[in-house]
Amino acid sequence: MRLFHVSEETDIEVFEPRIPTRKDLDQTKGLVWAVEERCLPNFLTPRDCPRVCYHVGRETTDDDKQLYLSPQQHHHVVVIEQKWLEAMMNTTLVLYEFAPTSFQSFDENAGYYISEEAQIPIAKHKIDDLFQELFSYGVELRITHDLWEMHDAIQQTTFHWSMCRMRNALPKG
């Protein structure tokens, strides 16, 4: 298994555990977050870009596939707002790869892993073309004016899904 942390910062040498900002997590334990390669495409956008991501899982039904996937056999979709296209073209990301030994699964659906120990990356990969990187993973990128319709709909399906930075999405309605 390969684990990554995606960042716009190019010079991180050590990832120190940080207290989570999410209020549903223990505020006394610092964590280092990583994502497994299967879900890495969900993070191949600018950090603050709101997005709805979903991919096929073992339990995904044929009906859901027909309704939400293009006929080109894509199995992973990332949906962003049109206003983020320019940022997508002008953002460079760095993939910091971690040894998985001290990580534990936090959310299998989203591919999140956590560690309470400081982490030194075992590799670093720079990505200058986010579109090409997404396409290299076989991801279909969709552009929309309103993320909220997909946000609400995809949660009612049998796909594995993840919503990121929705607080930055255009207002619902």
pLDDT tens column, 95-154 = 999 999 999 999 988 899 999 999 999 999 999 999 999 999 999 999 999 999 999 999
The pair of three-digit structure tokens given for residue 152, joined into one six-digit string? 């609400």
Residue of 25 and 81 predicted with greater confidence: 81
| Token digits of residue 87 | 């940022």
What pLDDT, in 10s, does the model give residues 70-105?
Answer: 877 789 999 999 999 999 999 999 999 999 999 999
In a domain, 129, yes or no: yes
- Within 8 A by CB and 6+ apart from 22, the residues are none
The per-residue pLDDT for 53 is 96
Cα distance between residue 137 and residue 48, in whole Å: 21
Are the C-beta atoms of 127 and 92 separated by less than 8 Å? Answer: yes
The pLDDT confidence band at residue 68, using thresholds 50, 70 and 90, is very high
Residue 40's pLDDT is what? Answer: 97
On whether residue 100 sits in a domain, the answer given is: yes
**Which residue spans within the chain are E strands per DSSP?**
3-7, 32-36, 51-55, 76-81, 93-98, 104-107, 112-115, 123-127, 139-144, 160-164
Amino acid 25: pLDDT: 87
CA 143 from chain centre, in angstroms, equals 16
Residue 149 in any domain: the answer is: yes
Predicted TM-score (pTM) of this structure = 0.92
pLDDT (0 to 100) of residue 142? 96
What is the number of structural domains in the chain?
Answer: 1
> Is the CB of residue 14 less than 8 Å from the CB of residue 8?
no
Q: Which residue has the higher pLDDT, 73 or 56?
A: 56
Q: Is residue 87 exposed (0-12), middle (13-18) or buried (19+ Cβ within 10 Å)? A: middle
**pLDDT value at 11 more than 80:** yes
Give, as one character, the DSSP assignment of residue 144.
Answer: E
Give the DSSP letter of residue 166.
Answer: G
Structural domain containing residue 76: 3-168
Spatial distance between the Cα atoms of 137 and 139, rounded to a whole number of angstroms:
5
Give the whole-angstrom CA distance, residue 70 versus residue 32: 35
Per the prediction, the chain carries an average pLDDT of 95
Q: For residue 47, what pLDDT is reported?
A: 95
173 domain residue, yes or no = no
CA distance 144 to 140: 13
Percent of the chain surpassing pLDDT 70: 99
For 139-149, b/e burial (b = at least 16 CB within 10 A) is bbbeeeeebbe
